[in-house]
Structure 1
Amino acid sequence: MKLKAAFIFLTKAESGTDAPAEYQNWTRTPAVDLLAIGVTSYEQAVTAAQRAVREEDCSCIELCGGFGVQGTALVSRAVQVPVGVVRFDIHPGLDNASGDGIFA
């Protein structure tokens, strides 16, 4: 059976806009379909994870290294599938900070 997974990463919001953007794209291989989703907050990540499981039938979620312990816990509690995380104590895409220091 083919694995359907989501990878959620944090990105900066578009400047000059109040509404956070969400970006997504599928990468499909013979063994894995991976939905990459870019979000601009932990709140948006929770919603994106729930939607990936409910609407896209993803059976696991992987979070980028920008998610701190608190952000990972928020997403993990929001879905009933395994959640993994790439680890950075400080993330270069978040100006060398953890998402916990920005979003939590």
Structure 2
Amino acid sequence: MEQSATNAHNGMESISKANESTKLITSSNIELTEQIHQIDRTANDIKEKSDDVAESMKQISDNTVSNCNAVEQVSAATQENSAGTESLAGIVEKIKELSKQLNEVVHG
């Protein structure tokens, strides 16, 4: 009888320890689940921010191409103006020469 009481007491202690272990495992599982959910939310935030960065980079690329095209147009216009300026300088030289010749004719 005494042995049965000891066994019953030991059994109750084992059940109590198992119950405490189960509570600890359950608590750890709940905490781990929350951490996994937090990681998932963080991963989603990172994905959204990465999408925003990718869109911004595309806009920068588009702007760079547009700016490059504008620079090419300005360069072409500058070359045309330079050629026009050279022609104008030639015309001015001819006018000077004609003016000199006219002065020689007039002042003799």
- The question of a shared fold, defined as TM-score above 0.5 by the shorter chain, is answered with no
What TM-score, normalized to structure 2? Answer: 0.15
Would you tell me which structure has more helix in proportion to its own residues? 2
Kindly name which structure, 1 or 2, has the bigger radius of gyration based on alpha carbons.
Answer: 2
Would you tell me which structure has more strand in proportion to its own residues? 1
What TM-score, normalized to structure 1? Answer: 0.16
